[in-house]
Amino acid sequence: MKLIIQNGRISATATDAYVANGTEQAVITAPSNYTQADMGYYVYANGTLTLNTAQQTYDMLIAGGITLTSTVTPALNGTYSTNETAQKNISGIVTGIAASLGLPGGGTTFQYQDATGAFHT
């Protein structure tokens, strides 16, 4: 079995007959202990495939943020932090809305900063 690597992660598996087409980051032979159930826990960096623990994978994904792509409001497109601070900020906004306090600033929109520091309305 071969593993197709994209963006440092296993994106797909293929038979041993698979021939790389050049769009992949890498195509490697699966390690003997590879299981499909653990696919999401593998990380590929510097030519090495590493099986992380669930906690390591969680930490890596949180550090990477979440990429938002809106077809309705493209001005919102960006990668947003998902770290503890960001989670507290979002919780505070949701709590305010749920308490009928409205959006931050009291208007109909508000500015929210993405992971690069850019503000989105």
In the predicted structure, residue 28 carries a pLDDT above the cut 90: yes
pLDDT at 61: 85
In the predicted structure, residue 101 carries a pLDDT above the cut 90: yes
Which tokens belong to 42? Answer: 């593998």
Which tokens belong to 36? Answer: 């499909």
Residue 3: exposed, middle, or buried by beta-carbon count in 10 A (0-12, 13-18, 19+)? buried
For residues 67 and 85, give the distance between their C-alpha atoms in angstroms, rounded to a whole number.
17
pLDDT digits (tens, 9 = 90+) for 37-84: 889 889 999 999 999 888 888 888 888 899 999 999 999 999 999 999
Q: What is the mean pLDDT of residues 16-39?
A: 92
